[in-house]
Amino acid sequence: MKAQKLFFSTLALLFVLLLVACNLPENSPTLNPLRTTPTRTVNPAPTSSTPLETSRPEGTPPGKMEPTLAPGVNETYIEGILQHSTVIVDADQDWILHKPEIDNPILYPVDFGDIHSMKVGVDERYLYIKLEVNGTVPGKGLSFPVFNGDHLMSFGTNLGFDIDNNSMTGCLSDGGTEIMTGYGIKYENGNIHTNWLSYMTDPTGTETPEDARYKNRIFDQENQYGGEGQNYFILTFPLSVLHLTRGQEITLDAWVEVSSQRYDHASFDMLCPQSLVDPSHPLFCPIKIKLGQETVIR
């Protein structure tokens, strides 16, 4: 009887410990994986098990990857908005090693994998992002180059929004982000195609596997310019879907990564203005901005 009681007490204790462990991440300073062994979201490709999509108009087929055009918005209009935007300046040729112990141990100096700057602008309806890199992104007759006999396979940027400015909430591996979005292309079967043009919301608290990090994956973007064959790309997002408003302060976390036949991160560059560089944490560069503010962050 005593042994049975001890057994059930132990079981109850284990259950409580399990519950505590499952609810730990938000406030425990020891759990921020960015400080130890970060594993960034790798250019997320669509999966067959597409989760709930909240913003999809009724009747739109699931898994659709084509961007839809926002009424009244074109590239000239967006460039006008971006002339009065927040500009974040990144150093040139400042690639960093991602996780050399398990990934590429040397740097591939990929020019289109080197961020030059990012502009963030808003109007009343949309958020506009323009990211410029220091080389021409493959596509339209340009193939992926080879470094050290290692064929590059994809290019992608990930742009995380920490909308509560708290790196301990949201997806911890991506810097405490509540929304992750980006653009990417991939070389496959002799062709280059768009691999990543969507946004993901509602972090689950699960860090591994990567495709379980966010609950909702929304494929449509309102429009997209640049990309293949260009040295920039522009992304447009409806503010309402991202739960953002003009004037709101948010923290950005962005990087560009290039994969190869051998490595997930053959080349890697964090968006990080010189004033925010922390050499002891090269993969951690939260950038606080106010949506709609005209300023330059260097």
Figure out which of the listed residues 53, 164, 202, 211 binds Ca ion, where binding follows CB under 5 A. 164
**For Ca ion, the closer CB: 121 or 273:** 273
Per CB under 5 A, does 228 bind Ca ion?
Answer: no
Q: CA 171 → CA 81, 211, 214, distances in Å?
A: 30, 12, 8
Min separation Cβ 114 and Ca ion, Å? 4
- Contact range with Ca ion by CB under 5 A, out of 15-23, 43-51, 111-119, 277-285: 111-119
Distance CA(8)–CA(12), nearest Å, equals: 6
Contact residues for 5 (Cβ-Cβ < 8 A; gap 6+)? none
Is 113 a residue that touches Ca ion (CB under 5 A)? no
Nearest 5 degrees, angle CA 267-CA 235-CA 253? 50
Segment interacting with Ca ion (CB under 5 A) among 106-114, 188-196, 274-282, 290-298: 106-114
Choice from 56, 65, 73, 94 touching Ca ion (CB under 5 A): 94
176 makes contact with Ca ion (CB under 5 A) = yes
16 Cβ contact partners less than 8 Å away, ≥ 6 residues apart: none
When the beta carbons of 60 and 274 are compared against Ca ion, the nearer one is 274
Per CB under 5 A, contacts with Ca ion among 263-282 are 269
Q: Give burial (CB, 10 Å; 0-12/13-18/19+) of 71.
A: exposed
Q: Which is nearer to Ca ion, 157 or 223 (CB)?
A: 157
81 binds Ca ion (CB under 5 A): no
- Segment near Ca ion (CB under 5 A); pick from 71-79, 155-163, 232-240, 288-296: 155-163
Cβ contact 46:65 at 8 Å: yes
Please tell me whether residue 162 binds Ca ion under the rule CB under 5 A: yes
At 88, is the secondary structure helix, strand, or coil? strand
Q: At 23, which amino acid appears?
A: N
Binding test (CB under 5 A) with Ca ion, winner from 40, 78, 87, 114:
114
Nearer to Ca ion, 70 or 252 (CB): 252
For Ca ion, the closer of residues 25 and 67 by Cβ is 25
Among left, alpha and beta (phi > 0; psi -120 to 50; other), residue 140 is left
With CB under 5 A as the contact rule, which of the stretches 16-24, 110-118, 152-160, 186-194 interacts with Ca ion?
110-118
How many CB atoms are closer than 10 A to CB 67?
19
Of 94 and 123, nearer to Ca ion (C-beta) is: 94
Q: d(Cα 20, Cα 17) in Å, to the nearest integer? A: 5
Q: What is the nearest approach in angstroms of Ca ion to the Cβ of residue 169?
A: 4
CA dihedral 216, 219, 221, 227 (to 10 degrees): 120
Instruction: Number of residues interacting with Ca ion: please give it, by CB under 5 A.
Output: 11
The Cα–Cα gap between 100 and 266 comes to 10
166 touches Ca ion (CB under 5 A): yes
If the CB atoms of residues 220 and 253 are measured against Ca ion, the closer one turns out to be 253
CA dihedral 83, 89, 91, 93 (to 10 degrees): -50
- Between 114 and 222, whose beta carbon lies closer to Ca ion? 114
Residues that bind Ca ion in the complex, under the rule CB under 5 A: 90, 94, 114-115, 162, 164, 166, 169-170, 176, 269
